[in-house]
Amino acid sequence: MKTMRKVFAMLMALSMILALAITANAEGETTTEGGSIVIENGTKGIEYKAYKIFDATYNTATRKTAYRTKDTSAFGTDSPFEFSTTADSEGWYYVVNETAPTIDQVKTWLEGKYSSFESTDGVFEAGNKINFGTLPFGYYYITSGLGSVVTIDNNTPNATLQDKNESSPFVDENGGKHLIVDDEKVSETDAAVGSTVSYQIDFVAKNMVQEEGAEEYKTVENYTITDTNEGGTLSIDTETLKVFVNGTELGSDAYKYTYTNSVLTINIPWAEETDDVLTSIYAAGENGNIPVVVTYDATVLAAAAGGSAKNTVTIAYDGKNITVPQDDTTVNTYSFNLEKVDNTGAKLEGAEFTLKDGETAVELIAEMENDAIVAYHVFDGKEEGKPTTKIVAGAVVVKGLDYKDSYTLTETKAPEGYNMKEDATAVAQAEGETKAYSDVSVVNQQGVELPSTGGIGTTIFTVVGATLMIGAAVLFVTKKRSAI
């Protein structure tokens, strides 16, 4: 059992417990038959123990109790209790304090000693009750596996308690909403439109809660996780949705979800109702914690091109929100400007390019404005329209890209009257920590003019060449005849 950290708030005053001793010849019937101790708001899966510190006799008429033990040596010299100097005929020594010890005195004395006393295990029952069964009348020190003392109480004849060690559901420093990148949790990442990104939501559930201003604890009936995407920039693949409780994946019948208008809502029933009695479904672990994890994948849609895809989560129990420090995530996409110009910087129309990610041609969708192509974005695989791997430029924006070292632009067609660029590859370089691509300007040189009829073209060169050849032949024949 863990070291005691706090005493259960609902303690019966020790002045009532210890000072009201009775004797066997008091008016009314004195009994030692037993009673019960029940904790009304127990936590399923947590260990509860009742350590009997004293036996007791209970007078049914006066409703007074006398506490006793046959072994005073078990209490040590630092005990806050005083005992009768002699035993009765049955060997019992009675507690005879004129002034009852304080709760703090009893707690301090019991710390480190209580485990040597006889104990009884509590049993979890419907309605989230912990029942110790029929116990001999006595003064009991009740502990909880949540790590704290529940109470110091008697069971004369019956005691009903509440475990004040329960705490509210919470999100720890590693919980909330995250993206999963290379098995690491991050709140922000980069991805191209059409990419698949993975998400995870973590929080710690509880079976019982004490709402603000309430004296009693209540059983949690359900937990609701709501994940909202801004602007329709993501498409969640509900086939990949998984819910884990205590590390075990739940079957699809153990929770319900809806996915409408970019909002994913997951409802996890947390208690079963039988005859108007609520009983928690899931057993708690250390400190009453029940880890809950939700995972799913989503596709980055075209609406995120040139911007980002953001979503935010809320977590609630029975309609009451839990504070989620890390509640949102962002997936960034990137773009660059592409222009085709001549050697004077004048824009040229009619060039065609292919954009490659490594060796793979990127599929794109053209964006039109006033019947002209002004941009291309990466195809998300879900939108209407026929994708292309051809970029027609002019001047266009290419967007919806991942952030990486480079994309490659290969010119596949030059503007009319211009040569294909010898180095047909332009690279969009990422610029350091600014996470942006440099603009790409592809320069083409004007081709050599090859005119036909009506222009000097190359004809004159042909004529001159032929004349020179004929002249050389005549000169050769003349010299040969002279030699004869």
User: Is residue 460 exposed (0-12), middle (13-18) or buried (19+ Cβ within 10 Å)?
Assistant: exposed
Mark which of 332, 350, 374 sits at the end of a domain: 332
On the CB side of 480, CA atoms within 13 Å amount to 6
Give pLDDT tens digits for 182-222: 999 999 999 999 999 999 999 999 999 988 878 888 999 99
- Report yes or no on 26 lying in a domain: yes
**In a shared domain, residues 180 and 325:** yes
Q: Which pair of tokens denotes residue 225? A: 């996780």
Give pLDDT tens digits for 92-123: 999 999 888 888 888 889 888 888 899 999 99
pLDDT score of 170: 96
Residue 301 DSSP one-character state? P
On the CB side of 336, CA atoms within 13 Å amount to 24
- Report yes or no on 456 lying in a domain: no
Give pLDDT tens digits for 31-68: 656 788 899 889 999 999 999 999 988 777 887 788 99
Question: CA 79, 80, 85, 90 torsion: positive or negative?
Answer: negative
Closest to 194 measured CA to CA, from 27, 365, 54, 432? 365
Query: Which amino acid appears at position 143 of this protein?
Result: T
| CATH number reported for the structural domain that contains residue 437 in this entry | 2.60.40.10
Q: Is the model more confident about 451 or about 223?
A: 223
pLDDT above 70 covers what percent of the chain?
81
Closest to 75 measured CA to CA, from 101, 37, 48? 101
| Separation CA 245–CA 264 (nearest Å) | 19
Q: pTM of the full predicted structure?
A: 0.78
**In a shared domain, residues 146 and 282:** no
**In a shared domain, residues 343 and 207:** no
Closest to 224 measured CA to CA, from 187, 258, 175, 262? 258
**In a shared domain, residues 20 and 106:** yes
CB 264 within 8 A of CB 351: no
Mark which of 311, 332, 353 sits at the end of a domain: 332
Closest to 378 measured CA to CA, from 439, 430, 438, 306? 306
**In a shared domain, residues 391 and 278:** no
- Residue 2's pLDDT band, with cuts at 50, 70 and 90, is very low
State the residue range of the domain holding 70: 14-161
- Report yes or no on 449 lying in a domain: no
**In a shared domain, residues 111 and 187:** no
Q: Is the model more confident about 22 or about 279?
A: 279
